[in-house]
Structure 1
Amino acid sequence: MTPEETIERYYTYANAGDWSRWCDLFTEKAVVDEQIAGRLEGQDTLRAAVAGFPQIYRSFRNEPRHVVIAGDEAGVVSHISAVASGGEPIEAEVMNYFRLENGRIAYMANFHDTMPFRGPLGLDK
């Protein structure tokens, strides 16, 4: 899989709620620095983290707005539109950085405004 295909599938699977195939895009020892969840190490840890998404979000969309791919690195500016389980809307601008190895994500970091997630996800407690 090319880096372009991997990045395209990352957003396709997330937007379809296909978290199993989404996790398959990561290497076994992938590291994800997630602004809300912190550092997640390993594909199994990532699977456990996203397993709760259907209970956390009524709907979830992460739409790429600008994609830059250079070799095995990618940067994507996107916009999240979601609805939390309690019905609260979430709108957030996001920047994701990816480092790929053999067509799979070995490292990812995301950066976004955490304010839209505070109330709906209980982060303000």
Structure 2
Amino acid sequence: MTPDPVERYFAAVNAEDWAAIRDVFAPDAELRTVGAPTRRGVDEIAAHFPAVLAALPVHHDEPTRVVAAGTVVTVEIRFEGRTAAGAPVAFDAVDVFDLTPDGTAIAKLSTWYDTAAVARMVR
């Protein structure tokens, strides 16, 4: 079973509901993405998603496997989308969520994928 904050995270990203993204992260949360500086706090995290996904007006993160161990949740994802020019973009990724001790919000998210391959597809 996928914990509620993780389900709400994927629903918000897929719907581009950036207000809802703010609600799933703890106020002092961290977002670590391969090849990018760590984002700290809800404001930096919420600003990250529309900036990164601007190049991919069509996008969908599909969780394919969820492994939960206490407040740590690892999710394998299949990303599929299209660039503004219509070029397909598809890749696999892994997200590691650290939830708050009470399990109600995301305290830290680490996202892992082949950034070089994705950059080639987006260009």
- State the TM-score, normalized to the length of structure 2: 0.85
Distance in 2 (CA, whole Å) between partners of 1:22 and 1:116 is 26
User: For the structure 1 residues 91 and 54, does the alpha-carbon distance in structure 2 shift closer, same or farther, using more than 3 Å as the test?
Assistant: closer
Distance in 1 (CA, whole Å) between partners of 2:51 and 2:82 is 14
Q: Which residue of 1 aligns with 2:49?
A: 50
Q: Structure 2 stretches of 5 or more lacking a match?
A: none
- Deviation of 1:52 after TM superposition, in Å, equals 2.7
Q: Which residue of 2 aligns with 1:118?
A: 119
Tell me how large the CA RMSD over aligned residues is.
Answer: 1.9
Distance in 2 (CA, whole Å) between partners of 1:54 and 1:32 is 15
Distance in 1 (CA, whole Å) between partners of 2:89 and 2:20 is 24
Q: Structure 1 stretches of 5 or more lacking a match?
A: none
Distance in 1 (CA, whole Å) between partners of 2:82 and 2:17 is 17
Q: How does 1:83-94 map to 2 (within 5 A)?
A: 83-94=82-93
1:32 aligns with 2:31: yes
Q: Show CA shifts across 1:3-49 (max 9, x none).
A: 71111111111111212202320111111111143311111011222
Q: How does 1:55-70 map to 2 (within 5 A)?
A: 55-70=54-69
Aligned length: 120
Q: Structure 1 or 2: larger strand share?
A: 1
- Whether contact under 8 Å (1:86, 1:120) holds in the other structure is no
The percent of aligned pairs where both chains have the same amino acid is 24
Structure 2 counterpart of 1:104, which letter? Answer: A
SS at match of 1:14: helix
- State the TM-score, normalized to the length of structure 1: 0.84
